[in-house]
C-alpha cells in the first residue's frame, strides 16, 4: 500500500503544477496556441479566434428560398440543385403563359363569333376578325362545319386551355413550395452522417434472466453501428 502511494504521488504533483501553470497563463492574458518540441507558442487571449465548421441555418435558408427560388440552395451550397429548381420553374411558367395565350385567343374568338351570329353579321372573309384569325391553317368556318359547329369548337378549346392554364399555375406553386422545403431539409441534414459506418445489423441472441429464474429465451438483437 505504501509503495502504491509513493508511485502515484508524482502524478498528483505534475497535475497540480500543470493546472497552476495554466491558471498563471490565463491570469497573464496569454493562452497556448501551439507547441513545437519544448517550445510553447502563446498569444493574447483576446486575439485568438476559434473557427467553427460552417453550418447553414434552416430558418435563414427558408427565408432566402422564399424570397427568390434557388437562393436557398445557393445558401446551402447545393449548387447542383439549381438547374432542377430553375428548370422546373421555367418550364411551369412557360406552360402557364402559353396556355394563357391560347385560352385568351379562343375565348375572344368564341365571344365574337357568338355575338356576330346572334346579330346576323358573321363575316367569314374579314381576316381581322378574331374568329377568322383563330382558325387552324388552311381552314375556314365552312370547313369547320359551319358557324354553329365552329362556335361549339371554340368553346371547347377555350375550356381545354383554361384547364391547362390552371394546372400550370398549380404546378408552378408546387415546384416553388418544394424548393422551399428542400432548402429547409437540406439545411437541417447538412451535417447528417451518411458514411458507410452507419449501418444496421440484425443477429440472434441468447438471453437468460438470473434474477427472476427464467429459462433461456431466444431474441433478435439490432445493432446500430
Tell me which of 7, 33, 51 is where a domain ends. Answer: 51
Mean pLDDT of 179-186: 96
Left if phi > 0, otherwise alpha if psi is -120 to 50, otherwise beta: which for 77? Answer: left
| Strand, coil or helix: 21 | helix
144 is a domain residue: yes
Mean pLDDT of 143-161: 95
Residues 43 and 112 placed together within one structural domain of the fold: no
98 is a domain residue: yes
Residues 74 and 112 placed together within one structural domain of the fold: yes
Residues 47 and 63 placed together within one structural domain of the fold: no
Residues 89 and 155 placed together within one structural domain of the fold: yes
**Is residue 129 pLDDT above 80, yes or no?**
yes
Cβ atoms of residues 55 and 188 within 8 Å: no
Q: Could you read off the pLDDT of 200-223 as tens digits, one per residue?
A: 555 665 556 666 655 555 555 555
The predicted structure's pLDDT at residue 9: 42
- In this structure, of 10-19, 132-141, 186-195, the range with the lowest mean pLDDT score is 10-19
The predicted structure's pLDDT at residue 4: 38
The predicted structure's pLDDT at residue 12: 41
Residues 32 and 128 placed together within one structural domain of the fold: no
Q: Which of the two residues, 169 and 203, has the higher pLDDT score? A: 169
Grid coordinates belonging to 116: 356576330
184 is a domain residue: yes
Residues 32 and 126 placed together within one structural domain of the fold: no
Residues 74 and 27 placed together within one structural domain of the fold: no
3 is a domain residue: no
Residues 70 and 173 placed together within one structural domain of the fold: yes
Residues 34 and 85 placed together within one structural domain of the fold: no
The predicted structure's pLDDT at residue 132: 94
Cβ atoms of residues 165 and 99 within 8 Å: yes
The predicted structure's pLDDT at residue 96: 97
Average pLDDT, the chain: 79
CB-based burial label for 69 (10 Å; 0-12, 13-18, 19+): buried
Q: Which of the two residues, 6 and 142, has the higher pLDDT score? A: 142
Q: Which of the two residues, 49 and 138, has the higher pLDDT score? A: 138
**Is residue 178 pLDDT above 90, yes or no?**
yes
Look up the domain containing 34 and give its range: 21-51
- In this structure, of 83-92, 148-157, 182-191, 193-202, the range with the lowest mean pLDDT score is 193-202
212 is a domain residue: no
222 is a domain residue: no
Residues 152 and 106 placed together within one structural domain of the fold: yes
Q: Rounded to an integer, what distance in angstroms lies between the CA atom of residue 23 and that of residue 163?
A: 76
Q: Which of the two residues, 7 and 169, has the higher pLDDT score? A: 169
Q: Could you read off the pLDDT of 40-86 as tens digits, one per residue?
A: 666 665 555 666 788 899 999 999 999 999 999 999 999 999 999 99
C-beta contacts of 185-191 below 8 A and 24+ residues apart: 186/56, 186/61, 186/72, 186/73, 186/76, 186/78, 187/56, 187/57, 187/58, 187/60, 187/61, 187/72, 187/75, 187/76, 188/58, 190/55, 190/56, 190/76, 191/53, 191/55
Cβ atoms of residues 163 and 95 within 8 Å: no
**Is residue 7 pLDDT above 60, yes or no?**
no
**Domain total of the chain:** 2
Cβ atoms of residues 85 and 68 within 8 Å: no
Residues 45 and 69 placed together within one structural domain of the fold: no
**Is residue 131 pLDDT above 70, yes or no?**
yes
Q: Rounded to an integer, what distance in angstroms lies between the CA atom of residue 30 and that of residue 48?
A: 10
| Strand, coil or helix: 31 | strand
123 is a domain residue: yes
**Is residue 16 pLDDT above 60, yes or no?**
no
96: CB partners within 8 A, 6+ apart: 165, 168, 169, 172
126 is a domain residue: yes
Q: Rounded to an integer, what distance in angstroms lies between the CA atom of residue 43 and that of residue 25?
A: 10
Residues 70 and 150 placed together within one structural domain of the fold: yes
**Is residue 136 pLDDT above 50, yes or no?**
yes
**Is residue 115 pLDDT above 70, yes or no?**
yes
Amino acid at each position: 500500500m505504501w509503495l502504491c502511494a509513493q508511485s502515484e504521488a508524482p502524478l498528483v504533483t505534475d497535475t497540480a503544477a500543470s493546472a497552476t501553470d495554466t491558471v498563471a497563463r490565463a491570469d497573464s492574458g496569454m493562452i497556448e496556441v501551439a507547441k513545437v518540441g519544448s517550445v510553447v507558442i502563446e498569444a493574447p487571449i483576446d486575439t485568438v479566434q476559434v473557427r467553427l465548421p460552417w453550418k447553414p441555418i434552416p430558418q435563414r435558408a427558408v427565408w432566402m428560398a422564399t424570397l427568390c427560388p434557388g437562393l436557398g440552395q445557393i445558401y446551402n451550397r447545393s449548387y447542383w440543385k439549381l438547374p432542377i429548381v430553375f428548370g422546373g420553374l421555367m418550364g411551369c411558367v412557360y406552360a402557364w403563359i402559353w396556355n394563357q395565350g391560347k385560352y385568351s385567343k379562343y375565348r375572344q374568338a368564341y365571344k365574337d363569333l357568338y355575338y356576330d351570329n346572334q346579330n346576323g353579321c358573321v363575316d367569314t372573309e374579314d381576316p381581322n376578325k378574331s374568329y377568322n384569325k383563330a382558325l387552324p391553317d388552311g381552314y375556314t368556318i365552312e370547313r369547320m362545319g359551319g358557324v354553329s359547329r365552329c362556335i361549339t369548337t371554340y368553346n371547347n378549346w377555350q375550356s381545354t386551355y383554361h384547364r391547362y392554364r390552371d394546372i400550370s399555375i398549380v404546378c408552378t406553386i408546387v415546384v416553388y413550395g418544394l424548393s422551399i422545403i428542400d432548402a429547409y431539409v437540406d439545411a437541417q441534414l447538412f451535417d447528417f452522417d451518411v458514411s458507410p459506418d452507419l449501418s444496421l445489423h440484425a443477429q440472434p441472441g441468447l438471453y437468460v434472466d438470473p434474477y427472476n429464474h427464467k429459462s433461456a429465451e431466444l431474441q433478435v438483437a439490432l445493432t446500430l453501428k
